[in-house]
Amino acid sequence: MDKKKPPRLTPAELEIMDVVWTLGETTVSEVMRQVNAERENQLTRSTIQTQVFKLKDKGWLSYREVGNRFCFSAAFTRDQASAEVVDDLKTRFFGGSCLDLIRAAFNVSELTPEELKKIRELVDGSGK
């Protein structure tokens, strides 16, 4: 990442970031609606608002004021965030070895021929 690496996301923070990545620029109210959409135990507005502002303070979210509302957007793309998570995992658990990470990530015998083809294309540099 070009920007300073933000701290790791907690599961609750990742849930909010998933909403922001899906919606693009959004408000606390919309995040609350999305997070609570299929929850039995609804989170309160103050809980969501606290988490959103923590994400802003940690560098995950940027914002702009529109009238009396704050509109939040991701400071890092989902791809950037996932690359950081994978890099951290590779470093901490696999001593920096991509091969060991890949071995642990999946069982080749469980992959379909199409998935194997796509992996080969990625390794060859012809697939993105």
Domains and CATH numbers, the chain: 11-74 (1.10.10.10), 78-124 (no CATH)
User: Residue 1: its pLDDT value, please?
Assistant: 41
CA distance 85 to 79: 10
Instruction: Please say whether the beta carbons of 54 and 47 come within 8 A.
Output: no
Residue 105 backbone zone (phi > 0: left; psi -120 to 50: alpha; other: beta): alpha
Per-residue pLDDT tens for 29-87? 999 999 999 899 999 999 999 999 999 999 999 999 999 999 999 999 999 888 888 88
Read off the pTM. 0.76
Tokens of 38: 């299929």
